[in-house]
A and B are shown apart, each in its own frame.
Chain A
């Protein structure tokens, strides 16, 4: 079955065209800003022209009001979600990494488990939710939110760990073996450090997936967290809150992504 699911770290995307002149460097910031301002103005204009009911498309000013007055509340809800996200991310990544190691080094485990893991990845995990809640309830142990988040986060880590560990130069292992090095030694001193960049890239993807997992559980089974607050807002058609919440989520998502990217760069400086 499929063993080449491409969740493996893509090369870094060019977020902006290469800056050939110094004016380009400035434009890297000014252009998105200008675009953002244009969109906001356009947003306002469209509302005026089509006379949208503020429930359907609230004006930017209202969204801004929500952000400033309910900032603490939004932040608190986001932190609630982050608690689940980070835990699901950590447990899922650990499990994913261990699975990756087992799959790389044991052909039996690989043939038995890997297809199941791939299947788990391509199946819409939301469908498990009613069953999980039935078995373990809401807020019990294991927390269904964390389980789902783990289910989403583990796979990129597994795939990238496999890619990293199997990518070791054959000659390096031969060199070690010819000197009598044990398999454990080769794992610790060669495979593990070699796979580090891959694993870190996988973690970056896993973090994004963890966000997705936690949020969709919160939306499907509202309880705590910013996703549930969005559902509350939807119930009373508080559209500006929804948009504000989305902005908050985007901000945190980006922050997490950049944090992990920074860590990755620091740890793999000389690679």
Chain B
């Protein structure tokens, strides 16, 4: 699914406060592309994701999904949040099947239960948590719960996957492993992915392009083309090309004016 953002702006207003979250966002994501959005806290990354999915309307500009203007929540989008947000009272399997229930509850339902169940089992197997199919979220670790969350986001076979700092709560080792798992799943399912993070190496490792956002009001400062070969392998994290891209991204964000600091005399 291709995405086109055209001059997107978003203002939140309450009785006594007026916040301009996003301003003048124009960008494009190609079909089957893996794009990361990186930026400081509070820059509106999450708001942007919700705008793309149609959950909230923009105050200015239009979002286009496959050249169709977005007018409200559309199906065909999978969401993964920072917290696994699983339904604690349901088993892993029933959690993954949740989107089926939502779709089936609507009047023009065409979802086939058998099809969904089959996909659920396949996804759980692909994510490597098949043996926990009938366990409860309480019994799973954070990383495993997040995998369930990813399966749930894929079960209705969406064309677009929106991920909002999904590995933010994990430790570094698990995060790296999950990155590799995610790429494997992406390779097998070929979705378009928009991935929000504020972990630069993660963004570089995963994506085709990295979009850098500014502080609030959020706008696109620039982008970094990640032309590293696919499939991305763990060793690539130590390659010169990888680190070059990381540095490039850091500079775009405004970090690492290391050159000036190092030249200071320590006296």
Which residues in chain A, 140-186, are within 8 Å of chain B measured between CB atoms? 169, 171-172, 174-182, 185
Contact B88 A178 (CB under 8 A): no
Chain B interface residue count, CB cutoff 8 Å, equals: 26
Residues of B within 8 A of A21 (CB): none
Which residues of A have CB within 8 Å of B222?
Answer: none
Q: Contact check, B101 vs A174: say whether CB atoms are below 8 A apart.
A: no
Q: A179–B102 contact, CB under 8 A? A: yes
Asked if B245 is an interface residue, CB under 8 A from chain A, the answer is no
A183 to chain B, nearest CB (A): 11
Whether the Cβ atoms of A179 and B103 lie closer than 8 Å is yes
Is A172 touching B87 in the complex (CB atoms < 8 A)?
A: yes
Known: A171-B85, A189-B101. A178 touches B79 (CB 8 A): yes
Q: Which residues of B have CB within 8 Å of A181? A: 102, 105-106
Min Cβ gap B165→A in Å is 12
| Number of A-B contacts defined by CB within 8 Å | 63
Chain A binding site: helix, strand, loop or mixed by DSSP?
helix
Q: Within B4-45, which residues are at the interface with A (CB < 8 Å)?
A: none
Judging by beta carbons under 8 Å apart, are B73 and A193 in contact?
Answer: no
Q: Point out the residue from B79, B81, B102, B136 that lies within 8 Å of A180, measured CB to CB.
A: B102
Interface residue? A29 (CB, 8 A): no
Shortest CB distance A167–B (Å): 12
How distant is the Cα of A176 from the Cα of B55 in the complex, in angstroms? 10
Q: Is the CB of B88 within 8 A of A270?
A: yes
Q: Contacts of B105 on A, CB cut-off 8 Å? A: 181-182, 185
A94 to B: closest C-beta gap in Å: 23
Q: Complex: how many Å from CA A190 to CA B81?
A: 17
A55 to B101, CA, bound (A): 68
With an 8 A cutoff between CB atoms, is A262 at the interface?
Answer: no
Return B109 CB to nearest CB of chain A, in Å: 10
Q: What are 21 inter-chain pairs, A to B, with CB distance below 8 A? A: A171-B79, A171-B83, A172-B85, A174-B55, A175-B81, A177-B55, A179-B73, A180-B73, A180-B75, A180-B103, A180-B106, A181-B105, A182-B106, A194-B87, A194-B89, A196-B89, A270-B89, A270-B138, A271-B88, A271-B89, A271-B138
Binding site for B on A (CB under 8 A): 169, 171-172, 174-182, 185, 189-190, 193-194, 196, 268, 270-271
